[in-house]
Amino acid sequence: MKHLIIAGVPRAGKSTLSRRAARELGWQHVSMDAIIAGFERCFPETGIDTGLSVNKDKGSMEILHIISGKIGPFLRAMTDPDEYDCQNGPMVIDMYQLLPEDYVRHIDPEVCGVLYLLTGDVTPEERCRIQKEFDTPEDYTYGLSDSERLEGCGYLVEQSRLIREQCERLGLPYFETARDRERVLDEALSKIISNSKEES
């Protein structure tokens, strides 16, 4: 049995792809972002705190590094075959805060594969325009002002470029979804299904 982590930056299509992959493969879909939010609210002693408003002395990149370093070991424990009830079947784990270097450091690729979705091949201004065009009331970015949206898109582009550099250095798969998103997500889903067939 091999689980799959679909990681990357917000609004890159992680949840969409994870739900589609879970449905196609008949696997469970697990949202780690919801689990991280639970840790943040109920167990502040873990030091997991995603809020820039709370962490005024830390930038978005530093927060990403801190949370990734804590979540990597948690994911390893969560997917440990000796601990996980195999009758529940494989999981597609959808998440934001896991850097490729922490995936390699903490996760056994024989137990849990990974694929990253990024939006680093555009400028923050382009990312902002694309995001605004496709935002719906369900998206957390929907009610943001233009300046808040642009600041957030700057973080997404910066983080995407860091993740892409690490993926390339470590030989991990990634897809850029800022442009032609639906085609890219279809391509990523085909790769996931193909890999699953090869492993079974």
Domains, the chain, with CATH or none: 3-199 (3.40.50.300)
Structure tokens at 89: 């079947």
> Which class for 118: exposed (0-12), middle (13-18), buried (19 or more C-beta within 10 A)?
buried
List of residues 6+ apart from 85 with CB closer than 8 A = none
pTM equals 0.89
The residues, ordered by sequence, that sit 6+ positions from 176 with a Cβ below 8 Å of its Cβ are 118, 119, 120, 121, 160, 164, 184
Confidence band of 121 (pLDDT split at 50, 70, 90): very high
Q: In this predicted model, what pLDDT tens digit does every residue of 7-49 receive, in sequence order?
A: 999 889 999 999 999 999 999 999 988 888 787 778 777 766 6
How far apart are alpha carbons 158 and 169 in whole angstroms? 17
